[in-house]
Amino acid sequence: MRKAVGFYWTLPVPWAGFTKLPQDLELAIRASRTLRYQREVIRRYASDNDIELIAEKAFLEIEPDRGSEYVREALEEAADICRKRAATLILVDFRAVQGWRDHQFINDWAIRSSITVEKIAPDEIWIDGYKFDPHVHFQQWRRTQFRWSESKTDRKAQALKRAWELQEAGFSYSRAAASLNAEGIRSPTGKEWTKDSLRKFVQSTDI
């Protein structure tokens, strides 16, 4: 029986509050439908082809609209397991569906890597009780992401207005940051506020 490591990745979704990935794999998989999809596709592929999945790795990118070189560390961790256990690294090939998110760095890394990298097609499957169509899913995602990006000026104005109100009420930056987070008013990039990030935002923002 061949051995393999499954590698799953996704982008952050600031407008949904998804900007961090739990370190525990099961919690990470629960947090992202895209990760669940990739794991299910790869697990089914492994089962159908007499492959033993000896490890699984998940990675969250740093930007909501592109892949980056920061994935290298996670890839190398997975590759190290492959070298030690004579295993193949298995990925879902996002390029196989037109309009899907591609990750050029992963593609280039796979070509240069000293391990065997196997890419499989992103087929439609039933998951979470419904048929997951990758093409449709990411068309919807891109539309929502575009609307969120276009509303950045409005989000900045809302956050600044509320921050000023809290300052006028005598709130420190630390307390104001906690209040904004509790009210669901995130930073323009979708991240939770810290004392320092709020201070910088208030002092430098010009609307």
Average pLDDT of the segment spanning 8-33: 89
Residue 64 has pLDDT above 80, yes or no: no
Same domain, 177 and 139: no
| 144 and 156 assigned to the same domain | no
Last residue of a domain, one of 133, 148, 163: 148
Tell whether the model's pLDDT for residue 38 goes beyond 60. Answer: yes
Of 148, 178, 195, the position where a domain reaches its end is: 148
Quickly state the pLDDT bin for 155 (edges 50, 70, 90): confident
Which structural domain, as residue segments, surrounds residue 82? 2-148
Are 94 and 191 in a shared domain?
no
The helix (H) or strand (E) run that includes residue 14 is none
Please check the confidence at residue 11 and state whether its pLDDT lies above 60. yes
Share of residues in the chain with pLDDT > 90 (%): 56
Q: Which of 3-12, 44-53, 145-154 has the weakest average pLDDT? A: 145-154
pLDDT in tens, 79-107: 999 999 999 999 998 876 655 567 889 98
Mean per-residue pLDDT over the chain, rounded? 89
Looking at residue 206, its pLDDT comes to 55
pLDDT at 141 over 80: no
**Res 166 pLDDT > 80:** yes
End-to-end Cα separation, the chain, in angstroms: 61
- Counting the structural domains of the chain, the total is 2
Is 38 in the same domain as 73?
A: yes
Question: Domain ends where: 100, 130, 148?
Answer: 148
59 DSSP β-pair partners: 9
154 burial level (CB within 10 Å; 0-12, 13-18, 19+): exposed
Shared-domain flag, residues 109 and 36: yes
Cβ proximity of 88 and 117 under 8 Å: yes
**Residue 102 DSSP one-character state:** P
What would the mean pLDDT of 147-165 be, rounded to a whole number?
Answer: 87
Residue ranges with strand state E in 2-148 = 2-10, 51-60, 88-92, 117-120, 125-127, 130-132
The pLDDT assigned to 152 comes to: 83
Helix 134-150 × helix 33-48 angle, to 10°: 160
| 133 and 195 share one domain | no
Mean of pLDDT values over 113-128: 91
pLDDT per position as a tens digit, 178-191: 999 999 888 887 88
- 113 and 180 part of one domain: no
pLDDT reported for residue 3 = 97
Mean pLDDT of 142-150: 78
